[in-house]
Structure 1
């Protein structure tokens, strides 16, 4: 075995959209040293990543895995079996049970029905931007509130409380946060959603949580954890895609005209790979040979999505942003197998509407500061920008 590497996270100066150079130079499967001393593996090829994501010999259960980062906050604990309802860290059949209960809310047909409301929310925030006038921070004015409001309405979470849950989510996603800080944020958000579930049980409404209360036998703990999972995932990733994607498009203005290409959003997902710090992870339940390497039972395997989505064996000229790219849909941004992102269709619609309406409304949109002054979310579960000051011609 070669000398184990540590997870490469440093991007080259001036290359905010490219993966860390050391990451893309690695072999398809490399030994990786985890913070607790465990010697596991880092996968950087598309083929190997797909195998790890879909092969049932690899598990997503936390009690089998070694974390890449110290501050991992999730219901039930970082290295214990997933708490009831936290189905993202379960395998079949438990995972399948929860996913089936939620699938009807995230079908293509259901998301199509939501499009008019998503468009209305988008237009309302663009109206507010225009009224406020330049300069504005696009993250606070547009990228963060649009998906937050959409997921709040879908779930039945009061948007008036968005500042509170966005603050807690940011702490939970911050890899630089201490364990105590992450657990405190998780506790506050869990208590808030637990109280909301109790209220909705007394007065159920026509929203996702209300329908789960009315139509299933889920416990309050299950409902709270499902709400927590969907609330965090439903705005954190899409908000970062809208912010970082706008930054990328402003740096590649020749691509803006191609936003109406059918795979424009897919290409942005591939090119940016905002889930970037070596996640998701899996653990081997038995010995598995992978790209000529023997992954032993109990080994944790990290997937380097930025390198996977730039694999030259799959994508032609992978380091070029090309919104009309023919092979863009082969990206792994939404994962794969039974853990493929449940809300991917919602995210696609929010991004398609968000990007096209933004640049239709503000065709002269541009950065208000030099690009190298944009502060990046380097140590967060979702890569993005902390703020994006923009201006346009009135």
Structure 2
């Protein structure tokens, strides 16, 4: 992206005019059936709001790279509608980015820059550690592009723009990615910036992938924390990594193994919720899908009809809210014995909390196992904790844990 600031005209010529020239060259190709044009996840007018961008949101861009890619989307749509569709050619644009994978040694790339710096015993300067991005292994979008082309061949009516990325709740900060890279690399000093240095960059970017999931049946396979092998940083792909100077190991604890992500109960294609499994049976992470525009957004925290497969015969008996003033405060663990046992669903609306559930169900294969999720106001997800679990949380920021918890019970 910084190359766009150094050469804005060249960026526009390559990304926008280059796309137009390519599509124009395809017009006389009589055997052509499908075109998949790849742009970026930065094509949307970024409002700096904690909302994932949908394919119907306004296009735009502050910097030359983002703006030229947004303009390329308009070029793609124009050639599709004005020329190629009437020739029987299905044209789709694929919007993805922030890819990670072995063998990537380009400049101004987070992990290649990290490995280069740490190999030479230098600290890695990170300008915006709290910036949120939809990181994904490079094989995820490559798989999506190929499957999109295959489906367009059989179903040309599915032409259009598609987002490809991780689940919304798995968008992660630059800090989280670098801390995980430190664990894999075995060392690495970082100079954390305050977000003010360098040219403008978006602070929060995530994609809504519901369209690809419902129309194409595509969903990411590798969750965050990543199940990616060591070469995802390029560490094992280059001899210099084997020759790095010894250095102190980072203090960050090893990350938990990734959880599987099956759909754990059926929902309608238009549902505002996507359920994800955790390592403990019946403990569910709900991803919430909001509707937003320039004015703000609408987000459904609970819907009896849509969540009936999860709730069963339970009825909501309480909806409670907590606010904790000081970071580091612990609430819980709390546990209710029958006949007062309850299902709880915890949502953090402001700040961030470390939310923990402990399996106390006698006879459970995961008895005394625990699972934790980081819940925050900028990541739309809810942890659903069934009866038989103890629950508690620790606040990670001041004035956080402004959480709404609905509780259900069989009456």
Q: What's the TM-score bracket when you normalise by the shorter of the two chains?
A: under 0.3
TM-score normalised by the chain length of structure 2: 0.24
Comparing both structures, which one devotes a greater share of its residues to helix?
A: 1
User: Computing the radius of gyration over CA atoms, which structure comes out larger, 1 or 2?
Assistant: 2
* TM-score normalized with structure 1 length: 0.25
If asked which structure has higher relative contact order (CA below 8 Å, sep 6+), I would say: 1
- Higher strand proportion (structure 1 or 2): 2
